[in-house]
Amino acid sequence: MFPTLFTLRFGGRELAFHTYGVLIAVGLAAGIALAYREGKRRGFDGGRVLDAAFWMIVAGLVGSRIVYGIVNAGDFARACFRGGGEPRSIGAVVSDCTRILAIWQGGLVFYGGVAGAALVGWRFAKREGWSFASFGDLFAPALALGHAFGRLGCFAAGCCFGKVGGGHWGASFPRGSVAFDELAAMGAIPSGWDTTPALHPTQLYEAFGEFAIFAALLLLRPRARRHPGTLLVGYLGLYALLRFVVEMFRGDVIRGLVIAFQTPRLAALLHVPPKEPIFLSVGQLASLLVLALCWFAWKRLRQHPAATKPARSRTPAD
């Protein structure tokens, strides 16, 4: 892994470009460029597509952080109202109670980001007089492509790591990575070790899965012209399936469990420790709900084909 891609020197100072941030930026740029190009080809106003992309990114960050705060509400509450310890200064209390705002420390939930972006996208499309189904089809492949690069960034940083195992393809993360720090805090790394045990590279599992979904959505583009919404529903359904499977291998406890259900035989087949719960994480529960919604939406798309017309932004004369 390469947590720092390169470093620039300015006088006596160094500016490090972290691989995670660079890959996130590459993913966003590639996704926006793809949506812009497809939007222009299908008759959307390119400038308004870029405007929508900006506000959807902002809404996605806010939504993902809000859901993260809900999932980990107990931890944030304990940090704010902890008692029995040493007296805290007012500054320390404010810092502890506003920790949920510290987005730079990590902690984002993808489904929350999708919900936030979708809400803003729906409002934007309605204001512009666009079909939300056709508008969503613009951004579905872009989201898959951008998310794939983001997961490569996760691998570089060592976050969103997997359970111990993985056989010959297992990845060990060095001291200073998110994986090493979290496992060391849990006492899961023997004293003197400079790397984690071999872990399932769940970041790569998801990244390669996202690239495959991206390719599948490109193949579905002709169908989307007859059935607007196909790419949006297809992406959400395929990603939910991918995420449910990848969650079986995830080892970061911060994602939360709804039910700690152990299946030793399945764990052996997956090359994970037998005492590690396979089901049911918060992400898996959300994936099941999304799959159910996508199934109903897909049936509706098949029953109600529609022809698309070139999109046109509203003008003051409309």
Rounded to two decimals, what is the model's pTM? 0.83
Alpha-carbon distance 272 to 245, whole Å? Answer: 13
Euclidean distance between CA atoms 304 and 300, whole angstroms: 6
**Ramachandran region of residue 160, left (φ > 0), alpha (ψ -120 to 50) or beta?**
left
Please state the φ and ψ torsions of residue 160, each to the nearest 5 degrees: 55, 40
Query: Dihedral of CA 241/244/246/248: which sign?
Result: negative
CB–CB of 237/290 below 8 Å? yes
* Residue 281, SS3 per DSSP: strand
Residue 310: what pLDDT?
44
Give helix 230-247 / helix 202-219 axis angle, nearest 10°.
Answer: 160
Calculate the alpha carbon distances from 5 to 50, 141, 221, 269, 304 in Å. 28, 27, 35, 36, 49
pLDDT digits (tens, 9 = 90+) for 165-193: 887 889 999 988 888 888 888 888 988 89
Q: For the chain, how big is the Rg over CA atoms in Å?
A: 22
- Tell me what pLDDT residue 317 has: 38
Instruction: With beta carbons less than 8 A apart as the criterion, state whether 71 and 282 touch.
Output: yes
> Cβ distance 189 to 169 under 8 Å?
no
Quick one: which of 160, 120, 152, 147 has its CA closest to 136?
120
Q: What is the pLDDT of residue 307?
A: 46
Distance separating the N- and C-terminal Cα atoms of the chain: 54
Q: Using DSSP, how many helices (H) and how many strands (E) does the chain show?
A: 12, 4
* Residues lower than pLDDT 70 in the chain: 1-7, 16, 83-86, 102-108, 253-255, 304-318
